[in-house]
Amino acid sequence: MANSPEDFNWDELEQGGFGDSYSSENREELEKMYEATLSQIEEKEVVKATVVAINDRDVVLNIGFKSDGLVSSTEFRDLPDLKIGDEVEVYIEEQENAQGQLVLSRRKAKIVKAWEQIQGALDNDSVIEGVVKRRTKGGLIVDIYGVEAFLPGSQIDVKPIRDFDVFVGKKMEVKVVKINYTNDNVVVSHKVLIEKDLEKQKAEILNNLEKGQVLEGVIKNMTNFGVFIDLGGVDGLLHITDISWGRINHPEEVLQLDQKVNVVVLDFDDQKKRISLGMKQLTPHPWDSLPEDLQVGSKVTGKIVNVADYGAFLEIMPGVEGLIHVSEMSWSQHLRNPQDFIKIGDALEAVVLTLDRDERKMSLGIKQLTEDPWTKGDVLTKYAVGTKHQGVVRNLTNFGLFIELEEGIDGLVHVSDLSWTKKIKHPSEFVKVGENLDVQVLELDVENRRLALGHKQLEENPWDTFESIFTRGSVHKATILSKNDKGAVLELPYGIEGFALTKTLNKEEGGQAGVGEALDFKVVEFNKDEKRIVLSHTATYQEDEVEVKKKAPKKKAAANKTAADVEKDTLGDLDALTALKQKMENDGESK
């Protein structure tokens, strides 16, 4: 057998001399030996490949298969220093395409590998590092192993994040919390990493927590009732009333989000899950610095900070307030709603009425800045009995009405002093609240601040005239206004009312008179003092023996009268009636 190329017998080869030296068994054995040198590969899997050649367009890779594969050089842009002999991972797409070539892909290999790593991170609860690529709706997009993962805004940090843009382009450690292969969707969280670190801090803080302890925290959230402060892994509530000694309507008036503040621990529950914090307690109470010369009777100025149904609070310095009760706002007794008199934000002057430094309470008054109208020197002459005034009706009651003559000076008009002629059951039948009413002073009691007033006294008492008109036995036309079991109320001339018993309403032709009928009625009783007139319809057509006996002497006496006397009496009654009627008509027109 030849030991070198020079000893090789080329003539024998050309003549086929070696053709018989290989048997079929030898050939099969050689083929098996050759195939054993080739790798067994499967499509759709990732394998390692060795770079055997590099040109401008492709990279030639050997995976130990019978043929090499080509991969576009664009898939190796991330490896600018790639050289022959380097090993890379590729994805086998096809063992042999239509042209008989092996089809490989490094890009798909990277994707498959990335998903394997992502799944491994989820299974092992491991931390991986990614790069924030951009902001999206509701969160951030993070690149992990070449796969875009979604980081929700609520999972960025334990505290609310208001500016997502500050994270773009930065590296961030995350944990995989969810994978959806159907949509190739990955959800990650950075918050869980922070929470784990904070647990240790939280445990340390809670174990060392004590009332009165001063801590530094950061404002993480604001509400209308207070702010939540991050104390380094554990939250505490700073109530709005513990922010400042003075009143504030919302924490944002004095505090800001992300602001660092010092607070004191006021309280925490047994489980140490809720921590109450204070800020104003770190400064002296304003009452402790209240001037010593501030005493009862002193005048103070301030701003109204709250108005309630019973009064208003005047802040004379931050944290020092006094109550102005509604009764101390005006000398008038008819101020019922403080909001009609005072508004929040009003700057006012007031007088100190009571002061308790120990209890930190103060009551103030506004009306004391003006003179009490009842103590004025002219009150006795101005409102002397018999003087006439006009006032405003402020209140109505069942027994009368209260009328204000000036601020702080009120008087009562009893229902019986409203009209001479009408029987008024309630003042609302005669006048309304807010209307003006002329009155006359009937009684004055300065010591008890009381005025008794009358309206009807402005006119002459017509019952003096009625006494001569509605004499006993005289007959008058009257209309029945109403009826009840006892009798009927009648409307007589000149607007006055009378009363008739039920049994005296029977008519001569039969039946009984009803409401609205106008009939003749005879006067059977007239009482000027009680303003009562009792009449009877039956008496106009029948008389009993008692009436006859009573009338007999009168007839005799009448017979003795001269014709001139009778004429004089009749003319006198007519004159009185005419004058009274004219006066009432004039009064009605004036009203």
Instruction: Give the C-alpha separation, 103 to 120, whole Å.
Output: 28
Q: Is 181 found in the same domain as 220?
A: no
14 three-state secondary structure: helix
Q: Is 93 found in the same domain as 25?
A: no
Indicate if the pLDDT at residue 391 is higher than 60. yes
- Record the tokens describing residue 349, joined without a space: 């002057």
- 382 lies in some domain: yes
Q: Is 216 found in the same domain as 184?
A: no
Q: For residue range 505-561, what is the model confidence (pLDDT) as tens digits? A: 999 888 899 999 999 999 999 988 788 899 999 999 886 534 544 554 544 444 444
CB 51 within 8 A of CB 61: yes
Indicate if the pLDDT at residue 27 is higher than 80. no
- Comparison of pLDDT for 464 and 504, the residue scoring more: 504
- 502 lies in some domain: yes
Give burial (CB, 10 Å; 0-12/13-18/19+) of 281. middle
Q: What percent of the chain has pLDDT over 70?
A: 81
Q: Which of 15-24, 303-312, 369-378, 454-463 has the lowest mean pLDDT?
A: 15-24
The residue from 344, 369, 394 where one domain ends is: 369
CB 266 within 8 A of CB 215: no
pTM of the model: 0.45
- Comparison of pLDDT for 263 and 157, the residue scoring more: 263
Q: For residue range 436-486, what is the model confidence (pLDDT) as tens digits? A: 999 999 998 888 888 899 998 888 777 777 888 888 999 999 999 999 999
Indicate if the pLDDT at residue 2 is higher than 70. no
Mean pLDDT of 145-156: 86
The residue from 194, 228, 253 where one domain ends is: 194
Mean pLDDT of 265-287: 83
Q: Is 308 found in the same domain as 395?
A: no
Q: Is 320 found in the same domain as 249?
A: no
- 103 lies in some domain: yes
- 20 lies in some domain: yes
Q: Is 183 found in the same domain as 218?
A: no
pLDDT band at 47 (very low <50, low <70, confident <90, very high): confident
- 483 lies in some domain: yes
- 590 lies in some domain: no
Instruction: Give the C-alpha separation, 345 to 9, whole Å.
Output: 122
- Comparison of pLDDT for 74 and 523, the residue scoring more: 523
Q: What is the dihedral sign for C-alpha 231, 236, 242, 244?
A: positive
Q: Is 56 found in the same domain as 27?
A: no
Which residue segment(s) compose the domain that 145 sits in? Answer: 127-194
H/E stretch holding 573 reads helix 563-590
- 245 lies in some domain: yes
- Comparison of pLDDT for 588 and 226, the residue scoring more: 226
pLDDT band at 567 (very low <50, low <70, confident <90, very high): very low
- 116 lies in some domain: no
Q: Is 532 found in the same domain as 468?
A: yes
H/E stretch holding 89 reads strand 87-94
Query: How many CB atoms sit inside 10 A of residue 165's CB?
Result: 10
Q: Is 569 found in the same domain as 547?
A: yes
Task: Determine the pLDDT at residue 439.
Answer: 92
Domain count, the chain: 7
- Comparison of pLDDT for 30 and 166, the residue scoring more: 166
The number of CA neighbours under 13 Å toward the Cβ of 328 is 21
Q: Which of 35-44, 86-95, 163-172 has the lowest mean pLDDT?
A: 35-44
Q: In CATH, what number is assigned to the domain containing residue 85?
A: 2.40.50.140
The number of CA neighbours under 13 Å toward the Cβ of 231 is 28
The residue from 138, 165, 194 where one domain ends is: 194
Task: Determine the pLDDT at residue 453.
Answer: 92
Indicate if the pLDDT at residue 5 is higher than 80. no
Task: Determine the pLDDT at residue 95.
Answer: 64
Q: Is 182 found in the same domain as 140?
A: yes
Give burial (CB, 10 Å; 0-12/13-18/19+) of 218. middle
Instruction: Give the C-alpha separation, 138 to 451, whole Å.
Output: 75
Q: Is 440 found in the same domain as 402?
A: yes
Instruction: Give the C-alpha separation, 55 to 338, whole Å.
Output: 93
Q: Are strands 147-152 and 171-180 parallel, antiparallel or unpaired?
A: unpaired
Q: What is the dihedral sign for C-alpha 19, 25, 31, 34?
A: negative
Q: Is 473 found in the same domain as 450?
A: no
Query: In 523-556, which positions are buried (b, 16+ CB within 10 angstroms) versus exposed (e)?
Result: bbebeeeebebbbbbbbeeeeeeeeeeeeeeeee
